């Protein structure tokens, strides 16, 4: 047993520190060890993220973040997706993470409640270009980052949200340290120390949900920059504590307090290298918080199948997992009249109303004219919520909508498995369609096709060919 473990961890039967187990996995994994189906899925997850990054270029926040980073540290040599400008390595990772995550359209691993590709790809893309590795190594390291961030989030069992932490933003520090250390050639001891330092930087506030603040956009890339810093320090002899996850003042104790007793320490390393959690990552069909997706699809289905006219609606009841209430339903005053597009992405009331009124929900439904549409806002005021009594969470983000029309008829639709997840995962063709929809907001079709080919043939070319394809230079 490892020293300094609290008694409530005795059932996990640690034979070595968790950080050491992750380090051995990151240091020893080979491209050929990853099943072909997992590698293929990884390419499509990367393609989805790249398309979203180009779409983000279409919105003002991208320029504002880029200008802030240029103002802080000046230009550099690392590539930024969709931009001609180059940044210092860590700033490019922050920027690319913001582009991938900034529209809240990027993938989610449901049981971990993390957006794994945003930090994994931004970190690996930046360092792969810097280190001059081939596409096979880029893809292998991406899978390492994905497997580790997902498992670190899964172990918390939804507890990070309860204590006001954005899981992606905290877990990314550790996974990015592993990915960066792998690409920098760290040995097992150094990889363990890199995680130890990351344990001291991992924090990401959920306060953005109160008024649509932008800090969430920066969380994945910030975790990437922290991980790179940790890896470079470890490479140069930095020594960290042995148990950054399970220690007396480790990650789960410090972030979850008394809820640490519910942490599933076993899932952190069980089947590591044999069970591929990244394959279960869900690609989003809507540009909004994943907990709103079953609600959006339920509203759209009722509108389609029952031909419900918004003016005939008396009341709307939405059902959601308990963990989602403080994210997408409360405080009600903020959710009923979103102050910005980002605020609206976390409003069940607005999204359901927009779906019923517009018959769709995409990026165009987050434009100012829709946010200020009084007919939609009036309909949103009729939305109430309850905790879903039959939820499939954490395996799925279930949800349902019950519409009562003015003749007191109830119209019910429930989605146990949210579209994009599990047996309802988006197909490769659907991911391609989403990629083109997003990328074509900023680039011509022939260039988008070239990027598609570069991603899907990633394992056959140097990583620099991908990064050169992604910039606007």
Average confidence score pLDDT of the chain: 94
Could you tell me the CATH number of the domain that includes residue 324?
3.30.1330.120
Give 165's contacts (C-beta < 8 A, 6+ positions apart): 203, 204, 205, 206, 255
Closest CA to 158 of 146, 147, 171, 148: 171
**Which tens digits make up the pLDDT trace of 88-119?**
999 999 999 999 999 999 999 999 999 999 99
Choose one of 215, 248, 280: the last residue of a domain: 280
Which residues form the domain of 140?
7-280
- The answer to whether position 305 is within a domain reads yes
Task: Give me the mean pLDDT over the 140-166 stretch.
Answer: 96
- The answer to whether position 259 is within a domain reads yes
- The answer to whether position 454 is within a domain reads no
pLDDT value of position 211: 75
Q: Does the pTM exceed 0.85?
A: yes
Residues 93, 50 share a domain: yes
Task: Give me the mean pLDDT over the 237-259 stretch.
Answer: 94
- The answer to whether position 463 is within a domain reads no
Residues 105, 209 share a domain: yes
pLDDT value of position 13: 57
Could you tell me the CATH number of the domain that includes residue 118?
1.10.4100.10
Residues 256, 369 share a domain: no
Give the whole-angstrom CA distance, residue 125 versus residue 49.
12
Choose one of 235, 258, 280: the last residue of a domain: 280
- The answer to whether position 40 is within a domain reads yes
Residues 300, 274 share a domain: no
Give the whole-angstrom CA distance, residue 198 versus residue 224.
10
Kindly indicate the confidence band of residue 15, based on its pLDDT and cuts at 50, 70 and 90: confident
Task: Give me the mean pLDDT over the 297-323 stretch.
Answer: 95
**Which tens digits make up the pLDDT trace of 172-224?**
999 999 999 999 999 999 999 999 998 899 889 988 877 777 899 999 999 99
- The answer to whether position 468 is within a domain reads no
């Amino acid at each position: 047993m490892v020293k300094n473990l609290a008694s409530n961890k005795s059932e996990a039967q640690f034979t070595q520190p968790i950080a050491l187990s992750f380090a051995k996995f990151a240091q020893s994994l080979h491209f050929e060890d990853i099943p072909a189906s997992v590698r293929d899925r990884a390419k499509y997850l990367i393609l989805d993220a790249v398309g979203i990054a180009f779409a983000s270029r279409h919105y003002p926040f991208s320029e504002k973040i880029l200008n802030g980073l240029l103002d802080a540290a000046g230009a550099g040599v690392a590539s930024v997706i969709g931009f001609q400008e180059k940044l210092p390595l860590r700033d490019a990772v922050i920027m690319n993470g913001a582009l991938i995550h900034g529209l809240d359209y990027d993938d989610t691993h449901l049981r971990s409640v993390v957006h794994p590709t945003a930090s994994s790809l931004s970190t690996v893309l930046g360092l792969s270009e810097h280190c001059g590795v081939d596409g096979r190594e880029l893809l292998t390291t991406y899978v390492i980052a994905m497997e580790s961030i997902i498992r670190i989030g899964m172990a918390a069992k939804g507890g990070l949200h309860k204590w006001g932490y954005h899981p992606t933003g905290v877990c990314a520090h550790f996974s990015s340290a592993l990915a960066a250390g792998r690409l920098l050639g760290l040995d097992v001891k150094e990889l363990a120390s890199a995680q130890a330092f990351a344990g001291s930087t991992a924090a990401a506030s959920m306060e953005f949900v109160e008024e649509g603040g932008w800090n969430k956009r920066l969380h994945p890339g910030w975790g990437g920059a922290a991980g790179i810093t940790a890896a470079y320090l470890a490479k140069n002899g930095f020594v960290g504590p042995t148990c950054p996850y399970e220690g007396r003042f480790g990650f789960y104790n410090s972030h979850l307090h008394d809820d640490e007793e519910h942490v599933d320490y076993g899932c952190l390393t069980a089947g590591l290298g044999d069970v591929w959690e990244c394959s279960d990552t869900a690609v989003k069909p809507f540009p909004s918080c994943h907990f709103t997706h079953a609600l959006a699809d339920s509203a759209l289905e009722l509108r389609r199948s029952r031909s419900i006219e918004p003016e005939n609606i008396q009341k709307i009841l939405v059902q959601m997992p308990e963990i989602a209430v403080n994210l997408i339903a409360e405080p009600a005053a903020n959710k009923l009249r979103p102050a910005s597009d980002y605020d609206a992405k976390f409003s069940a009331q607005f999204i359901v109303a927009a779906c019923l009124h517009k018959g769709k929900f995409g990026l165009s439904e987050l434009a100012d004219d829709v946010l200020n549409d009084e007919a939609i806002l009036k309909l949103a005021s009729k939305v109430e919520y309850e905790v879903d009594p039959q939820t499939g969470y954490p395996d799925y983000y279930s949800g349902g909508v019950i519409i009562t029309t003015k003749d007191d008829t109830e119209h019910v639709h429930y989605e146990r498995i949210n579209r994009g997840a599990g047996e309802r995962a988006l197909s490769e063709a659907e991911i391609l369609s989403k990629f083109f929809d997003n990328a074509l907001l900023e680039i011509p079709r022939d260039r988008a096709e070239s990027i598609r080919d570069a991603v899907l043939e990633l394992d056959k070319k140097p990583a620099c060919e991908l990064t050169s394809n992604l910039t606007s230079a």
